[in-house]
Amino acid sequence: MTALEDAARAAQHAPSVFNTQPWSWLVTGDTMELFADVSRRLDTVDRDGRLLLLSCGAALHHARVTLAAAGRPAVVERIPDPARPELLARVRLGEPAEPDPEALRLADAITIRRTDRRAFGPRPVDEQELTQLRRLVEAEGAYLHVVRPEQLPELAVTAELAARAEQADPAYRAELGRWTSRPDFAGDGVPASTAVRDELRRVPVRDFAPDGDAGLAAGTEHDQGAAYVVLFGTTDEPADLLRGGEALSALLLRATADGLSTAPLSDAIEVEWPRNLLRGMLSGLGDPYLVVRLGYLPADIPLPRAPRRDPRDVITIVE
């Protein structure tokens, strides 16, 4: 297996909205290209394709980390051909180098990272960890706002208003139903086995099993020590959203490597007026891309793996 094919396979573990995995790769010689699979865009939740681009950016970062850990740092062109908007990035192998130690840590986290919707315990996320995560995000070309204690009620209300608006929309309920009842062979979506039963939380978490068949309990805690961060950028242009997805991947992998559990929350971004409330929380400094919940579980109980698509359906290799 070539280094590029290995990187594309590692990218299959990247997080994506509703676990749609909306990307594909074309590997040719020492180059691979990342394409958006627009057939997997969510028509209701993601009309503008913002979350699709964030998802693809996360896949791109997973690939970059894998290459750097293998001593083959990537040279990346983002949005290389404006006439082909579905072509998001072109990745070329750089000169061989010593494996990057930080990339090795992040690469080891790729297969163990999970989106954990269960409630986190009382242990707080310390300021040093949050500072390191903010610097990592900024190094990827995005920004991170740590939600202050006095802002938590506003964030909770924003998420609740967005959830109510979506649940009242028949198109949303139909779309949720499609992506939570996927056949096993599809290798995507959010099966009931990975969904968490609806419980009282500091900030509401999306109910992926409204019929009550969620396979996981939230637990006895209520996110007392959880930290909430808002990933944001200066614009919502495709290049910035792609970099936002790369920053999201960096944040999630570093947090996982440091022993934290993580859960991206996109509800408040999916509806325009709650997104405007989040924009106000940022004091007008930028466009909110995603909220992430960080924390520690009270007990080390493993999560079931989320399904993943067959690499043969995602990766094309031209000999």
Say if strands 315-318 and 23-28 run parallel, antiparallel, or are unpaired.
parallel
Residues carrying CATH 3.40.109.10, the chain: 3-113+310-318, 127-295
Q: Give yes or no for a contact between 239 and 283, defined as CB atoms under 8 angstroms apart.
A: no
The pair phi, psi for residue 141, each rounded to 5°, is: 95, 15
What does the DSSP assignment read for the chain?
--HHHHHHHHHTTS--GGG---EEEEEETTEEEEEE-GGG--TTTTTTSHHHHHHHHHHHHHHHHHHHHTT--EEEEES--TT-TTEEEEEEE----PPPHHHHHHHHHHTT--B--SPP-SPPPPHHHHHHHHHHHHHTT-EEEEPPGGGHHHHHHHHHHHHHHHHT-HHHHHHHHHHTS--GGG--S--GGG-B-----SS----S-TTS--SB---S---TT-EEEEEEES--SHHHHHHHHHHHHHHHHHHHHTT-EEEEE-HHHHSHHHHHHHHHHTTTSSEEEEEEEEE--SS--PPPPPP---GGGTEEEE-
Question: Comparing C-alpha atoms, which of 306, 238, 303 is closest to residue 17?
Answer: 306
Distances from the Cα of 81 to the Cαs of 49, 88, 91, 128, 132, in angstroms? 18, 8, 13, 40, 34
Q: Which amino acid is at 149?
A: P
Task: Tell me the C-alpha distance between 95 and 117, whole Å.
Answer: 40
* Predicted local distance difference test score (pLDDT) of residue 299: 82
What pLDDT does residue 212 have?
83
Q: Per the structure block, which two tokens stand in for 104?
A: 């090795």
Start-to-end C-alpha separation, the chain: 12
Q: What is the pLDDT of residue 1?
A: 67
Q: Does domain 3-113+310-318 have CATH number 2.40.50.100?
A: no
The pLDDT assigned to 249 comes to 98
pLDDT of residue 101: 94
Total length of the chain: 319
Residue pair 65/6 in contact (Cβ under 8 Å)? The answer is no
Q: Please give the CATH number for the structural domain made up of 127-295.
A: 3.40.109.10
pLDDT tens-digit readout, 11-66: 999 999 999 999 999 999 999 999 999 999 999 999 999 999 999 999 999 999 99
| 53 phi, psi to nearest 5 deg | -65, -40
Counting as low any pLDDT under 70, the low residues of the chain are 1
Other CB atoms within 10 Å distance of the CB of residue 210: 15
Q: Encoding tokens for residue 148?
A: 């202050």
Contact 50, 242 (CB under 8 A): no
